[in-house]
Amino acid sequence: MLLIPTSHRSAIGTSQPKTDGESASTRISDRIAELGDWRGEALARERALIKEAVPDVVEEWKWRGTPVWSHGGVLCTGEAYKSAVKLTFFKGASLEDPSKLFNSSLEGNVRRANDIHEGEEFDAKAFKALIRAAAALNTAGGKKPRKPA
């Protein structure tokens, strides 16, 4: 049996990595600057829209370097890949998406994602509505309203 000293438990087996005193917001800003290309611009734009949509959103840095935005629970994560910036909504399958922003991870029962590619148009108004809906779902206890029979 492996015993983990109490002083190391918070950095192992949880979603709260050691931050060396640097805030999550600073780490996200650093990541955006580090990208230095269209992906950084896209992530910065989405971050700004998230903050506009839910001004009291909490920025977190989890899972060994993933920007996370929370409000009553995780709203979404922002990951930069070689050819896309992926915004994964943790309860996306429970959200209405009339503008069809979700274009990835559509087969799952819980999550949905929006992959943004270089040069693509982006509907900021629809994205902010999706963020607000995710925040409302989290603060309502996360249950999808039942549709009338």
pTM (2 d.p.): 0.78
Domain ranges of the chain: 21-139
- In whole angstroms, what is the distance from residue 102 CA to residue 35 CA? 24
Burial class (CB within 10 angstroms; exposed 0-12, middle 13-18, buried 19+) of 58: middle
CB atoms within 10 A of CB 110: 11
**In order along the chain (149 residues), what is the average pLDDT of each group of 10 residues?**
36 40 86 93 96 96 90 94 95 93 88 94 94 94 53
Cα–Cα distance list, 52 to 11, 20, 142 (Å): 31, 28, 22
Amino acid, res. 25: S
Burial class (CB within 10 angstroms; exposed 0-12, middle 13-18, buried 19+) of 107: exposed
- In whole angstroms, what is the distance from residue 61 CA to residue 81 CA? 17
Fold topology of 21-139: Aspartate Aminotransferase, domain 1 (3.90.1150)
Cα–Cα distance list, 109 to 27, 53, 85, 128, 130 (Å): 31, 25, 22, 23, 18
Amino acid, res. 60: E
Identify the helix (H) or strand (E) that includes residue 86: strand 85-89
pLDDT, tens only, 48-90: 999 999 999 999 999 888 999 999 999 999 999 999 999 999 9
Burial class (CB within 10 angstroms; exposed 0-12, middle 13-18, buried 19+) of 143: exposed
Sign of CA dihedral 116, 127, 16, 12: negative
